[in-house]
Amino acid sequence: MQIAYRAKDITEAHIVAGLLKANGIETFVGGQYLQGAMGEIGAAGFSNVHVEDDDLYAARKLIVEYEANNQPARATESNDGKPNAYARWFLLATAVFALVWLNLR
């Protein structure tokens, strides 16, 4: 067996494993019990998705498609690429609060 994907956490590893299984590739998620040693803190880098040697190329091709379709959206931009108005007002209010607080000292 070969490592087809190194997940950030156990949840992502199982999502990718489910994707591969849905496409007819048998998987094994390794390292899931190692995360429990870290307590409730989300330990990263322990979960890997393993596939058979013959399925490695097909698995990596599906994973590349998965990663391309699941890029995180930028939180401070709207759909048209302009900064989010809420973020601007929050930063302005924070700056005003800091100036008032520094002047009262």
* C-alpha dist (Å) from residue 9 to 43, 69, 100: 7, 19, 43
Q: According to the model, what pLDDT value does residue 39 have? A: 54
Between CA 104 and CA 100 the distance in angstroms is 6
Amino acid 100 reads V
Q: Stretch 26-31: mean pLDDT, rounded?
A: 89
To the nearest whole number, what is the mean pLDDT of the chain? 80
In a shared domain, residues 15 and 62: yes
Q: According to the model, what pLDDT value does residue 46 have? A: 73
In a shared domain, residues 22 and 44: yes
Q: According to the model, what pLDDT value does residue 30 have? A: 86
| Residue 83 domain boundaries | 75-105
- Give the model's confidence band at 24: pLDDT under 50 very low, under 70 low, under 90 confident, else very high: very high
In a shared domain, residues 45 and 83: no
Q: With 80 as the cut, is the pLDDT of residue 105 above it? A: no
In a shared domain, residues 39 and 84: no
In a shared domain, residues 62 and 17: yes
In a shared domain, residues 15 and 34: yes
User: In the numeric block, which tokens belong to residue 52?
Assistant: 């058979």
Q: How many domains does the chain have?
A: 2
Q: With 80 as the cut, is the pLDDT of residue 52 above it? A: yes
